[in-house]
Chain A
Amino acid sequence: MAADTQKPASAFAKFMAMLSPGARVAAVVLVLLLLAALFAPWIAPYGENEIVGEFWEPFSARSWLGTDQLGRDLLTRLIYGAQNTFLIAGTATLLSFTMGSFLGFIAAVSRGAVDQLLSRLNDMMMAIPTLIFALVILSVMPSNLIVLILVMGILDSTRVFRLSRAVAVDIAVFDFVEAARLRGERTLWIISREILPNALTPLFAEFGLRFAFAVLFLSTLSFLGLGIQPPEADWGNMVRDNRDGIIYGIPAALIPAASIAMLTISINLIVDSVIGRTSSLKGGRDA
């Protein structure tokens, strides 16, 4: 709780100390992936779309993970793909959280008609299967990054809305919220100062999971040809492009698939560990 009084230099070390051993490994993996994405042009052995050899070459000293269906270096594509995956999934998740939690808190604090309106609109959105909704919109709208992020973020925010409303309703019944109301505080102040700090733990946990889902969703969209457009690299994209190789015993599709799995599992491990620790601090309530 007193973490914000600590020096920022030790914040990461403290964070690591409270994780389980598995989650520590996951944190290292995540940081490595993040670094790879950030410094892609400097660390990638080749250019993103550079053809370095025959198609579907096996592992070799020249290209460590072999080549893809066009003879591009797989490792290079993976590194550049991480860039896209992190950027799009990250922004979409941030968007869905800002929107979803803000509206969820408003609904929980105002109750009554505002709550009904927001919640029923949200139900309507949720009633339509996400993937089909996304497919329809993306095939009509121009295919660019911003549309993709907006669609992913807005669709995902319905889930965040549900969670944050439920969490905030629980917090809003506490006397300290009533005290703020009696003081005459405005709704926005109550949301940002009284509700948000107490809702951060479950929201953070959800953020990790939602990010993982966003990665998977982006991969699905790319796999269906509506996500990131070729020739740009993206992990889901790479699975689709290389899937025919599996018939001939070529593992090129499995490597980006394994990367997606690794990222998702890492995030889940960290989030699980964080939930476990913080909920026990609150008095052992099981998450």
Chain B
Amino acid sequence: MNAEHNILRVKNLQISASEQIPGQRPRQIVIVDDISFELGKGKVLGLIGESGAGKSTIGLASMAYGRGGCEITGGEVWLDGENVLEATPGEVGKLRGAKVAYVAQSAAASFNPAHRLGQQVIESALQHGLMNRDAANKFAVDLFARLGLPDPQEFGDRYPHQVSGGQLQRAMTAMAMCCRPQLIVFDEPTTALDVTTQISVLASIKQAIRETNTAALYITHDLAVVAQIADEIMVLRNGKMVEYGSTDQIINKPREAYTQSLVSVLANVKPEAGDTAEEAVLVANGITAAYDKTNMVLQDISVELHAGQTLSIVGESGSGKSTLARVITGLLPPLDGEVIMHGKPLPPELKNRSKEQLRVLQMIYQMPDVAMNPRHTVSRIIGRPLEFYFGIRGDEQRSKIIELLRKIELGEEFYDRYPAELSGGQKQRVCIARALAAEPELIICDEVTSALDTLVADGILNLLMQLQEENNVAYLFITHDIATVRAISDTIAVMYQGRLVRYGSKSTVLEPPYDDYTELLLSSVPAMELGWLERVLELRGQLND
């Protein structure tokens, strides 16, 4: 490739951050090291890696921007024949928005809620003096139409809170495209969206990039997503390049072991448990619940769960799956229906439940960071349920905690650590140990793996399955991830807008014939193969070009 045809050329990029621990001298740590790539017109490069891989940092560096504390310490970034790292702040200001634009992960946090969408979309075009207001408005309408937004003429008159999350993400893409930039940096644009919404946003972005012949950097942690949109993929780990090649090569013939582990899907699938004559651990009977007594969040939900089994509750955000967990735990007394444990109804309100009723029902949260008190040590976090429910103190407590730490595959050295000194996966393991310490019969797992990187999440799932075998504990597993559901469930409940649309054993729920919603949900999960997006869309007959 000739350098002149490249929109973006990054050479030996190195980015450092300064870190300061109180009482010590500040020191520099290299967070991105020796990254080189080239990007031609109309091409899409996927940057993929776990959290901390440096992918967003690289994306921002291509706009000559370093996040707070980050500093570009080496290498060159050439944007359309200009070395942006040597440009003056004034020149960089002219560049950003006009030649290179950025689409952030959370569109909701990136739009000003007090201004209309249209006004914000054309703002940078006006500021850079690229077109006058009328032309800009017309162009915005054109972009809205191209991105498949409803009612493109009127769409710009709405405020950010008046449109859905998927539409907002597309509006943000329109904002980035409004100056006709040569490069757009997409930073996890679909990560915060439901799978059913993700697919249409993905299709819109892909189509708009093709039509405008824009180069794009697509940053994500989801290899299946990037496979649909990128021409080339760079796999990153800990700020270093692992593998760089065409999408076809990375997906179908990965060379490096790390890439192979990303490509391979969950290896072990739990065999489904057969019918048991045993009494169910938990029965939810006709649960109807609302937060303000008028808007029903849950309507007539009935499920049951046997000892040692896993019930997965699947659905997109707003389907009421977390609300069901709140009803079962007693945080939200239902308007109608009852929760039965071992044949005895549980008091609907938390404060009326006995210690024993609380003990058998434990919970693990989505965000391990906020599920543990940052000022307590690991031993205190795990030790409290031991002390509270069983009165175990002193040396006995110590040996019990160490035993629990072994069970979650962490050693004794974690005993005195604070949560801040643990990695995400380790934190979630400690949360599991805290739940296990109460020797529960049922653990509610609320999206326990969705905040974790793929490999770490696999480890957590394996641990949970192993613990289930050892302790015969039942899991109520709330998730939006179909792959996880496939791997761990015995029974599955699919929820949509507060109703149960499908419920039964794994084999019956995940086998055709499907109902409409389950069909939509299952087919929206990106598959790790090229051309999946086109195939699905063609199947649905939604793409009209």
Name A residues whose Cβ lies closer than 8 Å to a Cβ of B. 1-2, 5, 14, 17-18, 174-176, 178-179, 181-185, 193-194, 197-198, 277, 281, 284
Contacts and interface: CB of A to CB of B under 8 A. Distances in A.
A14 B331 contact: no
A198 B331 contact: no
Contacts of A198: 373-375
B22 interface: yes
A183 B385 contact: yes
A175 B22 contact: no
Contacts, number: 58
Interface stretch (B34-42, B251-259, B302-310, B363-371): B363-371
Contacts of B353: 184
A23 to B, nearest CB: 14
Contact of B370 (A17, A174, A181, A184): A174
Contacts of A184: 353, 355, 358, 388
Contacts of A5: 416
A284 B68 CA distance: 9
Contacts of A281: 22
Contact of A176 (B23, B373, B388, B418): B373
B365 A175 contact: yes
Contacts of B330: 182
A176 B370 contact: yes
Given A1-B375, A197-B375, A182 B370 contact: no
Nearest to B446: A175
A181 B363 CA distance: 11
A176 B372 contact: yes
A181 B375 contact: no
B418 A182 contact: no
Interface of B: 22-23, 68, 329-331, 350, 353, 355, 358, 361-363, 365, 367, 370-376, 384-385, 388, 416, 418, 420, 434, 438
B373 A182 contact: no
Given A18-B23, A176-B370, A277-B22, A2 B418 contact: yes
20 contacts: A1-B375, A17-B22, A18-B22, A174-B370, A175-B367, A176-B371, A176-B373, A181-B350, A182-B358, A182-B361, A182-B362, A182-B363, A183-B384, A183-B438, A184-B355, A193-B373, A194-B373, A198-B373, A281-B22, A284-B68
B111 to A, nearest CB: 22
Name the 8 nearest CB pairs between A and B, nearest first. A197-B375, A175-B371, A184-B358, A175-B365, A176-B373, A174-B370, A175-B370, A18-B22
Contacts of B370: 174-176
B381 to A, nearest CB: 8
Given A2-B418, A176-B370, A184-B358, A14 B375 contact: no
A277 B384 CA distance: 31
A2 B374 CA distance: 11
A25 to B, nearest CB: 19
A185 B350 CA distance: 11
A284 B376 CA distance: 21
Given A18-B22, A184-B353, A185-B388, A179 B363 contact: yes
Contacts of B385: 183
A14 B371 contact: no
Given A174-B371, A179-B363, 20 more contacts: A1-B374, A1-B418, A17-B23, A175-B367, A175-B371, A176-B370, A176-B373, A179-B365, A179-B371, A181-B331, A181-B350, A182-B329, A182-B350, A183-B358, A183-B384, A183-B388, A193-B373, A197-B376, A281-B22, A284-B68
A39 B355 CA distance: 54
Contact of B331 (A1, A17, A178, A277): A178
